[in-house]
A = this chain, B = another copy of it.
């Protein structure tokens, strides 16, 4: 299996609900360095997994929806804890939609899986992997 990974980042604020979060129940924030990995069984006729330029552009567009925002103000997330692992799943969904809509090119429909990993610091990161 082949994979291609591109990296970008977003800087967000949020707060969590639930005693398990301790002081993180208050408003704080994070830089998420985001790695998106595209999977494919065979390369296309250009020897590509996916057009890396389109991949980087679409990832940047997806993250722009959240970058420099307070996630507590995003209606879709009301009543949800926007943990690192949850946000990995959110970015996965946005990227999967973009692929289905053809925003990564027609060939991207041959992709079989996707991994989104968010690094929240030098000592912690979370990932969501799923099929396409």
Q: Are B126 and A3 in contact (CB under 8 A)?
A: yes
**CA separation between A127 and B3, bound complex, in Å?**
5
Chain A facing B: main interface SS: mixed
For the side of the interface on A, what is the size category?
35 or more
State how many copies of this chain the complex holds: 6
Whether A48 lies near B23 (C-beta < 8 A) is: no
A-B CB proximity, top 8 nearest:
A29-B29, A13-B13, A13-B29, A47-B81, A7-B123, A31-B31, A27-B70, A47-B86
Give me the interface of A with B, judged by CB distance under 8 Å. 1-9, 11-14, 16, 18, 20-24, 26-31, 33, 37, 43, 46-49, 51-53, 56, 67-70, 73, 80-86, 88-89, 120-130
Name 25 A/B residue pairs within 8 A (Cβ), A-sorted: A1-B128, A2-B126, A2-B127, A3-B126, A3-B128, A4-B125, A4-B126, A6-B123, A7-B123, A8-B123, A9-B121, A12-B29, A13-B14, A13-B27, A20-B46, A20-B51, A21-B46, A27-B73, A29-B31, A33-B121, A43-B83, A47-B82, A47-B83, A48-B81, A48-B83
